[in-house]
Amino acid sequence: MALEHSFRNLTDDERETLMQVAVGHAYGSGDTVINQGDRVENLMVVAQGMLRVTHVFEGGHLSEFVGPLGPGDVVGEMSFVDGQGASATLIADGDTEVLTIPRNAIDALMSENPTFAGRLYKDLLLHLSRRLRATNLRADPGPAATG
């Protein structure tokens, strides 16, 4: 179910293949799923529950970014794509399950079917775009917040 909402441009067979290799990880409330700065090698999708997204700025200022993130949201995608450390810390807000999709399974699908890569990265770009727009709204909510 979670992958249908996460990867709408993939075929049913591709989503099924990803579900077959996905590993579920359970987190309790307050558990850290990803630490800011960690390298994330695999794609992750929230299967159930919620995640809070926090970022510590230089000087120690803690800010809550977007969120919370819930079922169907892809996480760790920035680090997965660019190989750099995670830009934020993700913390379980209540009991949460996250599916981890191994990079090697994704790479194998890309090798078998080059068009898979285009559809996958289109979905990742859509996720990043929505998240950036949501972050922009939180950073500058506009005139309604000042009135």
* pLDDT by 10s per residue, the chain, length 147: 568 889 999 999 999 999 999 999 999 999 999 999 999 999 999 999 999 998 777 776 656 666 689 999 999 998 999 999 998 999 999 999 999 999 999 999 999 998 999 999 999 999 888 888 877 776 665 665 444
CB 109 within 8 A of CB 55: no
Query: Residue 132: what are its φ and ψ, rounded to 5°?
Result: -65, -40
What pTM did the predictor assign? 0.84
Class assignment of domain 2-136? mainly beta
CA pair distance 109, 101, nearest whole angstrom: 12
Neighbours of 143 (CB within 10 A): 6
The alpha carbon of residue 38 and the mean position of all alpha carbons in its chain are separated, in whole angstroms, by 14
